[in-house]
Chain A
């Protein structure tokens, strides 16, 4: 009696285990087929390049009407050639966009966008504190970038990139964020 019961239980478990696996194998095939995945920094480069269209910089940030629009990458550049390729030949109004790789905040003078790389994760707060100039849109992707005073953070969440915005920091930097960007971003402060 006991043995029969154990055999039955075993049989049941076999069936359950089998069904578990098989259903796991088939279920996703029933889910909607999705697009191909891209490298994280390919997409993040896309965001950095498109922010110029959704942010308004104060006129006094530029010293002359001819001054180019500088986008700077501080730290070890994670974009490869992707960001340079997206920005090639582009301009903001009449200002041609230039891309600069910088090692520290000393080189950040004149940068209108500063992307702070994750290689600098230990000194993010110190870097943000040292960027005293207004009219600088800071972007990062380290843990609590916006909490530490950065303007925008690009966070990978469930396989997609999300924008976190610190609107207080944007205001302090005299930046005007468009309603469109505010609509899709997660406002954290």
Chain B
């Protein structure tokens, strides 16, 4: 299941020729576009910086005082929520994807939405499988990012990651997505190592009425949502929804049709009530069923052992229930109690996985005196996981069932040193059943230089707790013929002695509102990782399978690598005119992974080249007259050396038309720069990659 030493990456000849052609085309296009983009971009920027004087912030805007009714009605306004404001003042690297960004991106799944966030690596492997990470270490089993929907973690203990095809949320119901780059262990605990992706859905009070969407396009034959929301008593609201989506099968790099087509159904409920002036209750429930397929290389139990490229069905059923009660105490401090159950059943690559997570969390937010703003919390989580291989599979877990407990407590204090300097210190203390006691402290300093400029710095420690694969795996990974010796079988053994991966991270950031129209956000980081996973070769031995001799090359998982990474992200928002907004972004990543002297793993160092060292993006949102919108995004992702994936540029564009108060029609084109391209190739063919195709679709939205 893991990358192993001594196994050569598979390559298709046709893929190479095609990728060269695509590469030269893309490079030509990028250069052409960059030149054409930079001139109109830089010139007005310079003019604006020079000409526009900085405006001071006061109680009331001078234009508003004394304005007539007509003048007020004609003023252009921006809506910045309190939450956004608070985020822009934290000592962490945060990027917020708003509902407006979501609607105008045209994207209809969460991974495609995340492409707009700087520092996030999003690569599609096939219709249902993705490699998504933040600040490096990207693989199909990326394990250093924590993903939450309304406070419910989507972490799966099979491989410490997320099944992205299960992260389905109706785009219209998302209020915002907070993407936090860098460690979040102090608040969110283990596995929030390189970042946190926090998906927050709208309160039921904000989705009253009916919603019907229907879409169809070149990659999806039909998709749609039906939702209805309304009042529940005089102090509450609810919504119920159902959704259907599908994707057609793509093609393999050699042009052959794949079997990765997917379709799924989803349904859910959310209710929000104000129980009294100081109590609110939120309850939600949802289910998801998807049916897809993927292709992977598998060693089938013999005798004799055989390796084959097989098309597997990939099915998911998942359900969840969550309740959160928030209470405001007399002194103004607030408490919240949240409980959820997250259950899923997944069948992939012949493994039948059942997973149930129950989590109870309590938090108390209070102010002590004029200087301390404190949050503390308690968390208990029970994970019950059962993994059963199908008969004949050589991918097994030594312990089919495992029940784990996690206890955690955290405390964080924001201390006001002066009116402009804030210091936040805190730590999480956890006990997990894999490695026992763990701690994740952090310290952040924020200096609000003035109303327009903020400087911050942070230091933190985060851990990733080991998972079931690392502990329990027993896996015949591949059969390789070695000339002169015969056939070699690569076997991977889990190791219960694997340690928690550790990160020591240092960051600095600067945020500025340079003018009323131009804001800038820069972050740099330096990260030191220890106890990273390695695969250690053992002594080869001989065995026989169905009369054929075999050399067995055993590998055991260990924690014998370390890394030193640095990089940064820069993004800006520029309101060129009242109708037009441009958002450019750039991320740099330099990874240096090394094995410890005692390690014999020769593959770990290469993982650095599975993440692009540069990414660039430019988004444009334009309001045209007659209720028309024209939006576009251009993204460049640098090459992935170990996978022979050349750098590529993606161009997506959307035209939206609001027809009256009830209808909206949009046309979206994705991946317009090339007919098809590769984004990620899993070298061990755990999942055999397919191409990302150029596509277009139309969507009609009806609100009633």
Contact = CB atoms under 8 A, between A and B. Distances in A.
Contact of A36 (B64, B76, B236, B622): B76
B40 A40 contact: no
Given A25-B37, A104-B277, A159-B76, A37 B516 contact: yes
Interface residue SS majority, chain A: helix
Interface string A118-136: 0011110110010000000
A161 B72 contact: yes
A53 B148 CA distance: 49
B58 interface: yes
A10 B578 CA distance: 35
A77 to B, nearest CB: 11
A104 B328 CA distance: 14
Contacts of A123: 234-235, 274, 277
Given A43-B64, A85-B60, A143-B205, A122 B236 contact: yes
Contacts of B653: 20, 24
Contacts of B418: none
A42 B61 contact: yes
B673 A17 contact: yes
A76 to B, nearest CB: 8
Contact of A39 (B40, B77, B274): B77
A18 interface: yes
Contacts of B205: 121-122, 142-143
A47 B72 contact: yes
B36 A28 contact: no
Contact of B61 (A82, A103, A156, A180): A82
Nearest to A84: B59
B32 to A, nearest CB: 6
B578 A38 contact: no
A78 B78 contact: no
B75 A24 contact: no
A46 interface: yes
A56 interface: no
Contacts of B277: 103-104, 123
Contacts of B58: 85
Contacts of A25: 36-37, 40-41, 620
A50 B75 CA distance: 15
What band does the interface of chain A fall in when counting residues whose beta carbon is under 8 Å from B? 35 or more
B17 interface: no
B110 interface: no
A82 B59 contact: yes
Contacts of B237: 122
Contact of B630 (A22, A24, A47, A122): A24
A74 to B, nearest CB: 10
Interface string B274-294: 100100100000000000000
A120 B274 CA distance: 9
A162 interface: yes
The 8 closest A-B pairs by CB, nearest first: A85-B59, A34-B578, A28-B580, A81-B59, A122-B274, A85-B60, A46-B64, A123-B274
25 contacts: A10-B675, A14-B25, A18-B32, A21-B36, A21-B37, A26-B40, A28-B577, A29-B44, A29-B576, A29-B577, A37-B516, A40-B77, A80-B59, A82-B59, A82-B64, A85-B59, A85-B60, A122-B272, A122-B280, A125-B235, A160-B76, A161-B73, A161-B75, A184-B69, A184-B70
Given A21-B651, A22-B36, 11 more contacts: A14-B25, A21-B33, A25-B36, A28-B577, A31-B580, A37-B78, A37-B516, A46-B60, A46-B72, A126-B234, A158-B623
Interface of B: 25, 29, 32-33, 36-37, 40-41, 44, 58-61, 63-65, 67, 69-70, 72-80, 82, 203, 205-206, 208, 231, 234-237, 272-274, 277, 280, 516-517, 575-580, 620, 622-624, 627, 630, 632, 634, 651, 653, 672-673, 675
